[in-house]
Amino acid sequence: MDAEKKYILLVEDSRTQALFARRLLEGAGYRVTVAETGRAGIELAQTTHPDLLLLDVVLPDIDGFEICRFVRRSVTTYIPILIFTGERTGMEDRIGALTTVGADDYLAKPYNPRELLAHVEALLRIKNTIDELLSRLTSEKQSYQALRRIALTDYLTGLYNRHYFAEVFEKEFSFAIRYKTALAIVLSDIDLFREVNNKYGHPTGDWVLQNVSALMQSRLRLGDVIARYGGEEFIMILPMTDAHAAAVACERLREQIEQTTLNAEAGPIRITVSFGIAAIPSLGVTKAAELLERADKALYQAKHTGRNRVEIFNPYLPPAPAESAAK
Active site residue 232: yes
3-state secondary structure labels for all residues of the chain: CCHHHCEEEEECCCHHHHHHHHHHHHHCCCEEEEECCHHHHHHHHHHHCCCEEEEECCCCCCCHHHHHHHHHHHCCCCCCEEEEECCCCCHHHHHHHHHCCCCCEEEECCCCHHHHHHHHHHHHHHHHHHHHHHHHHHHCCCCHHHHHHHHHECCCCCCECHHHHHHHHHHHHHHHHHHCCCEEEEEEEECCHHHHHHHHCHHHHHHHHHHHHHHHHHCCCCCCEEEEEECCEEEEEEECCCHHHHHHHHHHHHHHHHHCEEEECCEEEECCEEEEEEEECCCCCCCHHHHHHHHHHHHHHHHHCCCCCEEECCCCCCCCCCCCCCC
Active-site residue (options: 36, 232, 293, 323): 232
Q: Which residues are catalytic?
A: 232
